[in-house]
Structure 1
Amino acid sequence: MTHPLLAIDRLSIAFTQQGETRTVVSDLSLQVEAGETLALVGESGSGKTVSALSILRLLPSPPVSWPEGDIRFHGQSLLHADEHTLRGIRGNRIAMIFQEPMVSLNPLHTLEKQLYEVLSLHRGMRREAARGEIITCLDRVGIRNAARRLADYPHQLSGGERQRVMIAMALLTRPELLIADEPTTALDVSVQAQILKLLRELRQELNMGLLFITHNLSIVRKLADNVAVMQNGRCVEQNRATTLFAAPAHPYTQRLLNSEPSGDPVPLPAENTPLLEVDDLCVEFPVRKGLLRRVVDHNRVVKNLSFSLCPGEALGLVGESGSGKSTTGMALLRLIASKGRILFDGKPLNGLSRKQLLPVRHRIQVVFQDPNSSLNPRLNVLQIIEEGLRVHQPTLSVQEREKQVIAVMQEVGLDAEMRHRYPAAFSGGQRQRIAIARALILKPELIILDEPTSSLDRTVQAQILTLLKSLQEKHRLAYIFISHDLHVVRSLCHQVIVLRQGEVIEQGECRRVFSEPQQDYTRQLLTLS
């Protein structure tokens, strides 16, 4: 009798905290055959990642338990396997790409050291042989100048580049089963297409099974053989991909398929006095070599970027990972050095000291891409959101701060009764709302949003976009919206700048650029989206 590569049979997963047991996944049954791709989709908090982590028993037990069901690999139980057996399977026969690369990569080690460790442990390769394979694999996942990047540390890579390194790390062991938890979340559409092509090739080469967790239904349509839809810890629908997309049976599946970003940006106010003016912005980082680490060159990552932004207006910055989008945001926040002129409300920000910038800080806020990394896990939500008030309005009493926190939580659609909980108790969409509330409480005039919806499923993404639009209209907020999702940019932004390797490829009114792109690269992005 032949067994499926992976079989999850009537699995339940429970968490026990403070003597209370809560079931988060119930009666889950899935199968993945060799050479087959199963896509697991659903809203954040539906149990997708918890189920995937349970396959390799990567969750601490306690507090996690599996009261019912089993997980079998080639017919062998993984839930009842000893640690020695699991060590032989983890990272070797079953590899996993995690959702958050900055958390998964060691910040103290170079890329080469971390990738070599995989080949040394699992395939017994020596450093010289491993180096060639590492460079080849990094090339395949789209890391430019891979040989030169081996000495880089994770913080020197963009979010998309870190995700590609994680994909390379998982593929180096040539696993029988690859579990990919949102592996293309931080990637632009061109690199996304490249990664999907690579996964299809490897699936054929290695006859590899693939469990692909995502909220991006366009990827599921291109890659998956079968689809399982989860909601509130249960699998509500499971079918062949072609059948599910053609005739979804469950109301939740139908809602997912109808949740593509749509609508037009908020109408612009009549006033057109620029709030932010940027002229010839350039950002470069020194290249150091030799024993004394002398500067021998400069790497220009943003080149001659110019634009103006009015109150109530949204500007989209789009382009592939590593194109300079997030770097531009950091330069505008004066968190990194830059050249060129930045005027905010008519006053230059260049050359201001940290003390001189402090009165401007509350007027320009930021929402980062990964709320898991940007929210302090040791602080509860009340402490996180009120932190800005402590700095910028130190005369407020404890009661006044808490009152403002409650009001802003309600404004972004969070239950204020949950303000004493910690970030780990919230779903991805809720954590992003917390990040928005933290920025909003200081009543800013400009918010820089760095991929704020990239890690969210379509239904939650639609809710966040609706929230951003309503806040923009209510408070006349200006947005700089950094994204690789062109559907989201089209729905929110009035003007758009397309970046590639730090250079402006195309710039103009959003509707015109999307309907009549002038450059081949812009046309390619639109075709792939």
Structure 2
Amino acid sequence: MTQPLLAIERLSVGFSKQGIVRTVVNDVSLCVEAGETLALVGESGSGKSVTALSILRLLPSPPAVYLAGDIRFHGESLLHASEHTLRGVRGNKIAMIFQEPMVSLNPLHSLEKQLYEVLSLHRGMRREAARGEILSCLDRVGIRQAARRLGDYPHQLSGGERQRVMIAMALLTRPELLLADEPTTALDVSVQAQILQLLRELQHELNMGMLFITHNLSIVKKLADTIAVMQNGQCVEQNRAQPLLNAPTHPYTQKLLNSEPSGDPVPLSAQQAPLLEVDQLRVAFPIRKGILKRVVDQNEVVKNVSFSLQPGETLGLVGESGSGKSTTGLALLRLIASQGRIVFDGQPLHNLSRRQLLPVRHRIQVVFQDPNSSLNPRLSVLQIIEEGLRVHQPALSAQQREQQVKSVMAEVGLDGETRHRYPAEFSGGQRQRIAIARALILKPSLIILDEPTSSLDKTVQAQILALLKSLQQKHRLAYIFISHDLHVVRALCHQVIVLRQGEVVEQGPCERVFTAPQQAYTRQLLALS
């Protein structure tokens, strides 16, 4: 009987703190064959990423402790291998797409430099030959006008574009095994379909094995040969894809499969004065060239977006990554320069200075797309969530602030006893819930939600959607909901705007757009979802 490409044998991993070891992966056994895909699914914090990081021994030790078991690649132990051996495996034979691209990409280096470094180190290519391969790979993962983007830095890309660059970086080495940790989280459905097709093609071409970590069950159905379900650090069910999806035996697996977003938006009250009015919003970034970096042109990324939003209403912004959704949100927050008219609760915001905006800030809150980069790693969760109270409600005592923090943490499904921990001690989904709690604590009138559920598993996503709806009904909150998950948009939004390359393709009541789309691009998005 031939050996599997990768075999994880009864692996147990813990984290030590002050001499006490907390087990986070317990007795997990998995197997990945060459040319096949194993999907690892489960809640945030269930041990999926820890399992994947253990394969290449990327967990910091200490505090990480390998308590038992082994990990074998082509029959050779990786847990007991030397650093020299591991350096020959990492990147060359086993590549990894990390969960958070903004953290994984170097903010000080251009895309070309970072991608060339991969080819130089792992395949010994010269820059001239590497450039063609880099452009080809960027084109395959859906980066438009790749030649023009090589000089860009990570902060100049959207979240989805950064994720595509990470995928390109992993695939450039043509690995035998790909560890993909939520690789499609920040991608819209059209690019997601393109990436899945690319992975299937490369898998067939290279006979590549793949460990695919995700909470998106629609992707699992399209891609996986085998599925393993994790809960609280243990593998509770494992089987070939079709038998597991058609007849799951474990109650937790059944719960996951029944957690797709559903339901209707919160009913609107009678027509009332708009909370937010936006007219002809435009955003353009200067293109600079030459030694003196003079402005030679303008890159218009948002073009003439107009809408109105009443209290208690939700507007969905959907479209491809890089279509201008997040840029629109930043412009409404007055965090970037824009042209056009923005009126909030009868007060024009577009002409106000930074100081004049301060009294309005607490009424408009935001949950950013990447919770890891929006949470200060040096502050505890208590300090992060209470920061807004310190600024806008300085009369509150420390005890009153702490009590409010515990209450809002409970609302978003976090244990208040963890408030003294730091962001690095939480999973990606838990960090997103911290970011949502920070926005909710000031009880704003409007919250701009930029992909707030993209890093959450389906069960927690359903909880967050229910929470957003209940808060909306109780406090008449208005939301601007930026997302590429059309199921979530339909369950939450009253009206929707479809953006493509900064332009409004379609706009109208959510139910009408979903049931009778007028434009071919909208129909394409719905067909892929």
* TM range, smaller chain: over 0.9
Q: Which residue of 2 aligns with 1:79?
A: 79
1:41-190 equivalences under 5 Å are 41-190=41-190
Report whether the alignment pairs 1:483 with 2:483: yes
Superposed displacement of residue 424, structure 1: 2.6
Superposed displacement of residue 380, structure 1: 1.0
**One-letter amino acid of the counterpart of residue 298, structure 2:** H
Please report the RMSD computed on the Cα atoms of aligned residues, expressed in angstroms. 1.0
CA distance in 2, matches of 1:372, 1:108: 18
Q: Which residue of 2 aligns with 1:307?
A: 307
Superposed displacement of residue 416, structure 1: 2.5
Q: Which residue of 2 aligns with 1:326?
A: 326
SS of 1:218's equivalent in the other structure is helix
SS of 1:439's equivalent in the other structure is helix
**One-letter amino acid of the counterpart of residue 66, structure 1:** Y
SS of 2:143's equivalent in the other structure is coil
Superposed displacement of residue 393, structure 1: 2.2
Q: Contact 2:105 / 2:154 at 8 angstroms: preserved in 1? A: yes
Superposed displacement of residue 288, structure 1: 0.6
After superposition, what is the alpha-carbon deviation per residue over 1:48-105, rounded to whole angstroms, capped at 9, x for unaligned?
0000000000001221111211000000000000000000000110000001000000
Q: Which residue of 2 aligns with 1:40?
A: 40
SS of 1:108's equivalent in the other structure is coil
Q: Which residue of 2 aligns with 1:274?
A: 274
Q: Which residue of 1 aligns with 2:453?
A: 453
Greater mean alpha carbon deviation, residues 72-81 or residues 231-240: 231-240
Greater mean alpha carbon deviation, residues 383-392 or residues 450-459: 383-392
**One-letter amino acid of the counterpart of residue 423, structure 1:** P
**One-letter amino acid of the counterpart of residue 142, structure 2:** G
Compared with structure 1, are the counterparts of its residues 417 and 65 closer, same or farther at alpha carbon in structure 2 (3 Å cutoff)?
closer
SS of 1:421's equivalent in the other structure is coil
Superposed displacement of residue 390, structure 1: 1.6
Superposed displacement of residue 412, structure 1: 3.1
CA distance in 1, matches of 2:400, 2:23: 37
CA distance in 1, matches of 2:414, 2:456: 16
**One-letter amino acid of the counterpart of residue 414, structure 1:** L
Report whether the alignment pairs 1:354 with 2:351: no
CA distance in 1, matches of 2:246, 2:400: 53
Q: Which residue of 1 aligns with 2:386?
A: 386
CA distance in 1, matches of 2:40, 2:102: 23
Q: Contact 2:432 / 2:455 at 8 angstroms: preserved in 1? A: no
CA distance in 1, matches of 2:200, 2:413: 40
1:417-428 equivalences under 5 Å are 417-428=417-428
Q: TM-score, normalised by structure 2?
A: 0.99
SS of 2:187's equivalent in the other structure is coil
CA distance in 1, matches of 2:417, 2:238: 36
1:153-232 equivalences under 5 Å are 153-232=153-232
After superposition, what is the alpha-carbon deviation per residue over 1:171-202, rounded to whole angstroms, capped at 9, x for unaligned?
00000000000000000000000000000000
Greater mean alpha carbon deviation, residues 241-250 or residues 296-305: 241-250
Superposed displacement of residue 271, structure 1: 4.5
Q: Contact 2:160 / 2:322 at 8 angstroms: preserved in 1? A: yes
Superposed displacement of residue 402, structure 1: 2.2
Superposed displacement of residue 354, structure 1: 0.8
Q: Which residue of 2 aligns with 1:494?
A: 494
CA distance in 2, matches of 1:121, 1:455: 31
Q: Which residue of 1 aligns with 2:23?
A: 23
User: 5+ residue gaps in structure 2?
Assistant: none
Superposed displacement of residue 290, structure 1: 1.1
CA distance in 1, matches of 2:148, 2:408: 46
SS of 1:230's equivalent in the other structure is strand
Report whether the alignment pairs 1:470 with 2:470: yes
**One-letter amino acid of the counterpart of residue 458, structure 1:** K
SS of 1:7's equivalent in the other structure is strand
**One-letter amino acid of the counterpart of residue 513, structure 1:** V
Q: Which residue of 2 aligns with 1:285?
A: 285
Superposed displacement of residue 396, structure 1: 2.7
User: 5+ residue gaps in structure 1?
Assistant: none
Q: Which residue of 1 aligns with 2:340?
A: 340
Superposed displacement of residue 295, structure 1: 0.7
Superposed displacement of residue 356, structure 1: 0.3
Greater mean alpha carbon deviation, residues 111-120 or residues 390-399: 390-399
CA distance in 2, matches of 1:18, 1:143: 46
**One-letter amino acid of the counterpart of residue 396, structure 2:** L
**One-letter amino acid of the counterpart of residue 330, structure 1:** L
Report whether the alignment pairs 1:258 with 2:281: no
SS of 2:417's equivalent in the other structure is helix
Q: Which residue of 2 aligns with 1:505?
A: 505
After superposition, what is the alpha-carbon deviation per residue over 1:245-287, rounded to whole angstroms, capped at 9, x for unaligned?
1111111111111100000001112252100000000000001
Q: Which residue of 2 aligns with 1:317?
A: 317
Superposed displacement of residue 410, structure 1: 3.3
SS of 2:40's equivalent in the other structure is strand
**One-letter amino acid of the counterpart of residue 316, structure 1:** G
Superposed displacement of residue 474, structure 1: 0.9
Superposed displacement of residue 244, structure 1: 1.0
CA distance in 1, matches of 2:508, 2:179: 40
**One-letter amino acid of the counterpart of residue 133, structure 1:** E
After superposition, what is the alpha-carbon deviation per residue over 1:336-384, rounded to whole angstroms, capped at 9, x for unaligned?
0000000001111112111000000000000112222211121111111
SS of 1:378's equivalent in the other structure is coil
CA distance in 1, matches of 2:410, 2:235: 31
SS of 1:186's equivalent in the other structure is coil
CA distance in 2, matches of 1:413, 1:166: 30
Superposed displacement of residue 443, structure 1: 1.8
Give the number of aligned pairs.
Answer: 529
Superposed displacement of residue 432, structure 1: 2.3
Compared with structure 1, are the counterparts of its residues 288 and 314 closer, same or farther at alpha carbon in structure 2 (3 Å cutoff)?
same
1:405-424 equivalences under 5 Å are 405-424=405-424
SS of 2:521's equivalent in the other structure is helix
CA distance in 2, matches of 1:486, 1:411: 25
CA distance in 2, matches of 1:10, 1:265: 45
**One-letter amino acid of the counterpart of residue 179, structure 1:** L
Report whether the alignment pairs 1:431 with 2:448: no
Greater mean alpha carbon deviation, residues 431-440 or residues 99-108: 431-440
Superposed displacement of residue 522, structure 1: 0.5
CA distance in 2, matches of 1:440, 1:164: 31
CA distance in 2, matches of 1:409, 1:34: 43
CA distance in 1, matches of 2:412, 2:326: 24
**One-letter amino acid of the counterpart of residue 66, structure 2:** W
After superposition, what is the alpha-carbon deviation per residue over 1:393-433, rounded to whole angstroms, capped at 9, x for unaligned?
22333233223323323333333232222223333333222
Greater mean alpha carbon deviation, residues 382-391 or residues 410-419: 410-419
